[in-house]
Amino acid sequence: MMKILCGTSSQNLGNDLAIKMNVECVHANAKRFPDGECYVRIERDLLDREIVLVQNTHPDDNFVELLFMVDAARSLGAEKVTCIIPYLGYSRQDRRFNPGEALSAQVMLRHLESEADRLITIDLHKPEILSWVKGIPTMDLHAEPAVGRFFRDSGVDLVLAPDKGATKRAEEVGRLIGVEYDHLIKTRLSGSEVKITPSQIDAKDKSVLIVDDIISTGGTIIAATNELKRLGARSVIAACTHGLFIAGALEKLKMTCDRVVSTNTLESEVSKISVAEEIAKVI
C-alpha cells in the first residue's frame, strides 16, 4: 500500500493528493533548532514500501527538509520514494552566463536524482532541464487542465498569454474553457513608454484571463491589466501555476486585477486551484 508523505511546504497539496488517491497522508514533523538547523521526524514505527513525497525545494530550507524526509522515510522501510516537487527551486538558473557561475538547476537535479527513485515536477519554466537526469524516471506535468477546469464556468471570454512564447498555455486553457485565446505584445513607444496589447483579438467588453507559469514581481501583469482596462476590458483575472509574489507583488496585483488566483504548488491565500488530479493520474 502506498502512502503520501508531505513536508511543511506542501501540506494542502499533499492532503488533496491523498484524497484523490484514497490513501493515507502522513505529515512529517519539521522544526528548527535555536541555531537554525533543521530537525525532521516521521512519527511512525514503520512506513509502507512505496512512498510519494510531496515537498517544494524553494526556498532553500525546504530543500534541506526534503533531503532529511527521504532519509527518515527510508529508515522506516520505504524502498521506493517518488518525489513530487510542485515548484523546483533554482530551475530558472539553467545556464552559465559568466565564467565561474554555478549551474544551479543542474546541481539541484543531481542531488534529487541521488535521493529519489522517481521525480515529478510541475510546469518547469524549461522542462528540457530534466534531460540532465539520467538515472531515474522523470516527468513534468502541466497545470493547464486544472486551470481550465477552475475557470470553465466563470464567465471568461478571452484567455491571454503574457508573451508569444507562452501562447500554447493560453491556447490549452482557452480550449478547455471554450473561448478564444491570444498573446500580448509589447510595443515600445519611447525610451520610457511601452504599450501592451493583445496581438490580434479585441479585448473590449470582455472578461480577460491572463495565464502564466510564474508570477514573481507581477510587473508585466499589472502593466497589461492597466492597458487592457484602458482598452475597455470588462474585467481582468490573473492566474498562474507558481505564485511567488515577491516584494509585495500580491497586494499590488489585487489592487489592479479583478482577481488573482494560483495553483497550490506554492501555498498562499490565493492558491485556490489544486493540481492534485494531474499528479494522481500519473502516480
Where in the sequence numbering do the catalytic residues fall? 186
Contact predicate 144/159, CB 8 Å: no
Name the CA radius of gyration of the chain, rounded. 20
Other Cβ atoms less than 10 A from the Cβ of 95: the count is: 12
CA atoms of 233 and 224, how far apart (whole Å)? 11
List Cβ neighbours of 36 (8 Å cut-off, separation of 6 or more): none
- Give the H/E segment covering residue 122: strand 118-122
Edge-first strand order for the sheet with 271-273 is 194-198, 180-188, 158-161, 207-215, 235-243, 259-263, 271-273
Q: For residue 162, is the peptide bond before it cis, meaning its omega torsion is within 30 degrees of 0? A: no
Short-list 58, 53, 219, 65, CA closest to 125: 58
Round to whole Å and give the CA distance between 242 and 265.
6
**Inter-residue contact 234 to 224 (CB < 8 Å):** no
Grid cell for residue 244: 511567488
Contacts of 23 by beta carbon, 8 Å cutoff, 6+ apart: 1, 2, 3, 4
Rounded to the nearest angstrom, the gap between the alpha carbon of residue 157 and the centroid of all alpha carbons in its chain is 24
Return the C-alpha cell found at 180: 478564444
